[in-house]
Amino acid sequence: MAQAGTHSAAGQMIGYLYQCELALLELAERSWDDPAAEVRMEVLDDIEFLHGSGTPAELLQSKHRGAAGQLSETGKDFWRSVASWIDALNTLGNPGAESMPLLRLVTTQVAAEGTFYYLLRRGDQRDVPAALARMEEVAAADAPKTTADERKMFLDLSPSQRYRFVDALVISDGAPVMSDLDPSLAKAMGIRANQHDAVLDQIKGWWYRVAVRLLERKDPARRRASVSAQELLCRLDEVSDQFAGENLPITEELRRLTTAEIAAYNDDLVVAQMRWIGLKDRRIATYLRDYHHARAQRSEWLRTFKITEDGLADYEQRLWDEWDHIFGDLTDDLDDDSDESDKHAVGKDVLRKTMDKVADEPARLGSNTVGWVGRGTMHSLADRAESDEGPGWHPDFSSLCQNRVNEQEK
């Protein structure tokens, strides 16, 4: 690991992360007026925006500096951006004035009055001819040598090309630094103040997964060409709906458990309860998936104060009550001398009907809760079942639980 100091890559790493989150911010801001806008990264430029065609409408370079300061007219950041834009325009076939994409530099630094940067900001002070004249003057100077090649690329353009280039150039200075992006993101997406952290965490998690696919180069099957503002809006709706009204947010992602994760539960009562009614491994693994993720989701609700211990206890009591009715109804007609196969059949019916019923029981009354939370929570109750109180699936679960305790105490 690189240590802080002259060899630290922290600044470069923040620059990459900034580019990724800036693309999200820019797409969110466009979504209000142009849901069809699309973004892609690292094709012709850092960030590109497309509007209904395959040709970029905007090429954006992002420059992050933790210490703000002023933009230097001879700085490497700018002139390397110029070279990158010229290369991109050559790739596009040197588009004319009508089809010229916007060339935009977004920087955390500030444009000082009197510089060509200042003259190329949006606003009343914008003056393309004056900015062009100053850029040509700086580009023709002998120093610094570090940008000589890039400045020559600009001067090698024809006069009309230079004018079109500068006319398309926009400086967006004073952009928020990485640590200040979240408030801008929340505002651009219209996220309510009391939901900022929770919604942004989920949106950014989704966005970073998308960004990896936008940057994929080795596997065409995994690569994404672009992402639209409409897709971002859809994802934002999906996440925001979790926090609407009294609904408890679902932050846990349902996935298949690994073999090791399943094996970790082998000696738990929750598995014993299912084996007592003859469930096969494949079915047990499915129920363990609900159990595993529901445990994590309930812990998250408690940790983030989305539900209280008392509220969770009320929810569990309602689930237990549904089981109690079902268990009593289905086992009432069993004879004392019923064979084990009959008891297995009844136990499977108890489990199946309980799972169907509790899947529709909301964790908070008047709200909605996904089915696996109820099913998984029911299995959590079965995992800590008291021998006399349940819940359990086998008609004789009470004595089976007691035998298990006796065996463990030996």
Note the pLDDT tens digit of each residue in 245-294: 668 889 998 999 999 999 999 999 999 999 999 999 999 999 999 999 99
Strand partners, 227: 39
Which residues have a Cβ under 8 Å from the Cβ of 168 and sit 6 or more positions away?
A: 100, 101, 102, 103
Query: Total structural domains in the chain?
Result: 2
Last residue of a domain, one of 139, 164, 188: 188
The reply to whether 254 falls in a domain is no
Asked if residue 385 lies in contact with residue 369, where contact means CB atoms within 8 angstroms, the answer is no
- Tally of CB atoms within 10 A around 177: 14
Indicate if 385 and 289 belong to the same structural domain. Answer: yes
Indicate if 73 and 165 belong to the same structural domain. Answer: yes
Question: Higher model confidence: residue 39 or residue 10?
Answer: 39
Indicate if 154 and 264 belong to the same structural domain. Answer: no
The reply to whether 212 falls in a domain is no
pLDDT at 408 exceeding the cut of 60? yes
Last residue of a domain, one of 171, 188, 205: 188
Indicate if 405 and 308 belong to the same structural domain. Answer: yes
pLDDT at 206 exceeding the cut of 60? yes
Indicate if 268 and 125 belong to the same structural domain. Answer: no
Instruction: Please give the pLDDT value at position 245.
Output: 60
The reply to whether 73 falls in a domain is yes
The reply to whether 400 falls in a domain is yes
Last residue of a domain, one of 157, 188, 219: 188
Question: Higher model confidence: residue 244 or residue 83?
Answer: 83
Q: What is the CA radius of gyration of the chain?
A: 31
Asked if residue 334 lies in contact with residue 342, where contact means CB atoms within 8 angstroms, the answer is yes
Indicate if 374 and 287 belong to the same structural domain. Answer: yes
Which residue segment(s) compose the domain that 102 sits in? 10-188
Q: Residue 19 to residues 23, 98, 105, 178: CA-CA distances in angstroms?
A: 6, 28, 12, 9
pLDDT at 1 exceeding the cut of 50? no
Question: Higher model confidence: residue 297 or residue 32?
Answer: 297
The reply to whether 232 falls in a domain is no
Give strand ranges (E) for 132-263: 169-172, 227-228
Indicate if 173 and 297 belong to the same structural domain. Answer: no
The reply to whether 234 falls in a domain is no
The reply to whether 277 falls in a domain is yes
Asked if the peptide bond before residue 249 counts as cis, ω within 30 degrees of 0, the response is no
Indicate if 41 and 157 belong to the same structural domain. Answer: yes
Indicate if 184 and 72 belong to the same structural domain. Answer: yes
